[in-house]
Amino acid sequence: MDRHPSIARSRRWEIALVAIPLAFLCYFFVYPLLTVLITGFVTDGKLDLGPLRTVFGREALLNVAWFTLWQAVASTLLTLLVALPAANVMARYEFPGKRLVRAALVIPFVLPTVVVGSAFLALLGPRGPLGIDLRQTVWAILIAHVFFNYAIVVRTVSAYWERIDPTLLEAAHMLGASKAEAFRRVTLPLLRPAIASAASLVFLFTFTSFGIILILGGIGQATIEVEIWRQATGLLNFEVAAALAFLQILGISAVLFLYSRYQERKAVQFSHHPARIAPRIITPAQRIYVVANLLVMTLLLGAPIFLLVERSLQSASGYSLDAYTGLSQRIEGLGAPATTAIWNSARFALVATILAVGIGLAAATVIAYRKGWLSRSFDALLMLPLGTSAVTLGFGFLLALDQPIDLRTSIWIIPIAHAIVAIPFVVRTAVPVMRSVRHRLREAATMLGAPPERVWREIDLPLVMRAALIGAGFAFAVSLGEFGATSFLALPTNPTLPTAIFRLLGRPGTESFTSAMALSTILMVGTAVTVLVIERLRTNGLEDF
């Protein structure tokens, strides 16, 4: 040890890089999930399938599972139907303002689900301009899901579509194929992997939908996610909630497995062309087609957001800022002034971002610089939170984190839960940059006597800083809008913006509704500004991430 202090120091550095993220994830992610499973299936140290039999024996719970499945399928198919023509427009045509449209498409997807639910409540609720009340109907849920997931299909499929070699279609036309036949025989088979990828993401998001269902559908249109929340917090039936969480995990795992098998079987190899400059609109038919799709985008994506802001400005005397100025006062239905929720969300997001960036960069260093089973296993473990229900995670926190220190009543448990969800975003943005750093730079610094932590601080950190800032932006946005886990963990006296909005929407009266719209607008603006900063960082040097 004395002869080789640098080697010992290097080993301690490597052990710390592995141990800190691993300990954090094991205690705050793996342990709560295992506790959920144990609660549902172990009694007095023995396997007990009673809660599972209870789920399959109750018609109401089976109806919840069936509704969860078919609404997710319907939402996915409807989103594909509406968004695929827009993906074609974004991939194949050039028009003024295209870059602005591409950037604006992202905003609905990153909006918190509570904001989306509030926006469609303003549009399709009893106070909406359409004069119809679609609350607690599946139609409101399906429309809101299309709004929320529209960008996934457009961005995923259009990015793939614009790289398909146009000479393939020209060859098909020269052989006598019509446009429809060329699309069916040439374009569609090449697009299937991208369509399957987008469809699987939309299905997962709608299968585990919580905020939108809770606000627009209520308990009468409950998914498994909502039913877990109701059984755990309303009925205190932890065993049934755990059994439902187990079934949901099985469902998500099955979808991911089937998607992986499909991609392996249907993958098609072809020459990807660089994204070419799309041709300008020439014919009247093309102009009508593009304009029609842009109108659908504007109405679908713009109308709910515009109405959300408009409703927040309404008052008895006309339009005013009364709803915003009144947020500093105690509002009936909240355990604290609404400004407390704003402050809580901001500080929780800051703490969650610091945790996510610190732990994410340490984990990314291990994944980027180590090869073999350690790197692959670490990468897989860090991605698991993305496929795990936030409600299940919050439920696990509620069950597990009572020892050795009871963290369940601590306000800091909320940013910890948010950090778990945000860490994968930091890892995914940092790893590619770290892998691009030349090894010779590190080797030269090591030969000059720099310890490992100094090598990382002075060589890697400056190069990965932009990626870290992008990851931090994602972490901040995720924390601002997180509702599933927070619904279990937030105390009435310490609400976050999403929980405050949900509580206000559950109370009768115009004042509560207008205050909810004002808080939703503030949350929307905060999220949108964060996303615009991320996009700015991307276009200034990280276009490929």
At 4, list the tokens: 């080789």
Mean pLDDT of 300-329: 80
Q: pLDDT band at residue 166, thresholds of 50, 70 and 90?
A: low
Which stretch, 232-246, 314-328, 348-362, 387-401, has highest mean pLDDT? 348-362
Mean pLDDT of 191-219: 81
pLDDT of 542: 46
- Checking if the pLDDT of 13 tops 70, the result is no
Mean pLDDT of 25-29: 88
CA angle at 106 for the pair 476 and 468, rounded to the nearest 5°: 35
Compute the distance between CA of residue 20 and CA of residue 129 in angstroms, rounded to an integer. Answer: 53
Which stretch, 11-15, 206-210, 509-513, has highest mean pLDDT? 206-210
Closest-CA residue to 88 (of 302, 287, 296, 290): 290
Mean pLDDT of 408-420: 86
Percent of the chain predicted with pLDDT > 70 = 75
Average pLDDT of the chain to the nearest whole number: 76
Q: pLDDT band at residue 229, thresholds of 50, 70 and 90?
A: confident
- Checking if the pLDDT of 516 tops 60, the result is yes
- Checking if the pLDDT of 74 tops 90, the result is yes
Which stretch, 285-289, 387-391, 500-504, has highest mean pLDDT? 500-504
Compute the distance between CA of residue 113 and CA of residue 90 in angstroms, rounded to an integer. Answer: 26
Compute the distance between CA of residue 64 and CA of residue 237 in angstroms, rounded to an integer. Answer: 16
Compute the distance between CA of residue 226 and CA of residue 206 in angstroms, rounded to an integer. Answer: 12
- Write the CATH number of the domain with boundaries 49-268: 1.10.3720.10
pLDDT of 2: 44
Q: pLDDT band at residue 317, thresholds of 50, 70 and 90?
A: confident
For residue 404, cis peptide bond before it (omega within 30 degrees of 0): yes
Mean pLDDT of 237-259: 78
Compute the distance between CA of residue 520 and CA of residue 505 in angstroms, rounded to an integer. Answer: 11
Mean pLDDT of 185-190: 68
User: Do 544 and 335 touch, CB atoms closer than 8 A?
Assistant: no
User: Do 398 and 36 touch, CB atoms closer than 8 A?
Assistant: no
Residue-wise pLDDT tens digits, 115-165? 888 888 777 777 767 777 777 788 888 988 998 888 888 877 877 777 666
Give the E-state strand segments of 29-99 in sequence order. 42-43, 46-47
Compute the distance between CA of residue 433 and CA of residue 545 in angstroms, rounded to an integer. Answer: 9
- Centroid of chain to Cα 39: 27
Compute the distance between CA of residue 380 and CA of residue 33 in angstroms, rounded to an integer. Answer: 16
Does an H or E element contain 542, and which? none
Distances (CA, A) of 453 to 15, 170, 434, 460, 526: 12, 56, 15, 10, 35
- Checking if the pLDDT of 308 tops 50, the result is yes
Sequence ranges of the domains in the chain:
49-268
pLDDT of 76: 92
Mean pLDDT of 68-78: 91
Compute the distance between CA of residue 160 and CA of residue 267 in angstroms, rounded to an integer. Answer: 13
pLDDT of 544: 40
Q: pLDDT band at residue 180, thresholds of 50, 70 and 90?
A: low
At 360, list the tokens: 């994410």
Q: Which of 166-180, 393-407, 422-436 is the least confident region?
A: 166-180
The dihedral through the CA atoms of 175, 180, 184, 190 has a sign that is positive
SS (H, E, C) 348-384: HHHHHHHHHHHHHHHHHHHHHHCCCHHHHHHHHHHHH
Residue-wise pLDDT tens digits, 449-476? 555 666 666 666 666 677 777 778 878 8
- Checking if the pLDDT of 80 tops 70, the result is yes
pLDDT of 79: 92
Mean pLDDT of 247-276: 62
DSSP 8-state assignment for residue 483: -
Question: Which residues, in sequence order, are CB contacts of 22 under 8 Å at separation 6+?
Answer: 378, 381
More confident residue, 130 or 349: 349
Compute the distance between CA of residue 302 and CA of residue 330 in angstroms, rounded to an integer. Answer: 32
**Looking at the whole model, is its pTM more than 0.85?**
no
Question: Which residues, in sequence order, are CB contacts of 280 under 8 Å at separation 6+?
Answer: 93, 94, 95
Question: Which residues, in sequence order, are CB contacts of 283 under 8 Å at separation 6+?
Answer: none
The string of DSSP letters for 494-530 reads S--HHHHHHHHHTS-SHHHHHHHHHHHHHHHHHHHHH
User: Do 223 and 168 touch, CB atoms closer than 8 A?
Assistant: no
Grouping H, G, I as helix, E, B as strand and the rest as coil, residue 94 is strand
pLDDT of 318: 74
pLDDT of 3: 45
Compute the distance between CA of residue 149 and CA of residue 105 in angstroms, rounded to an integer. Answer: 10
Distances (CA, A) of 397 to 197, 291, 489, 528: 31, 49, 8, 29
CA angle at 362 for the pair 361 and 364, rounded to the nearest 5°: 60
User: Do 221 and 209 touch, CB atoms closer than 8 A?
Assistant: no
More confident residue, 464 or 478: 478
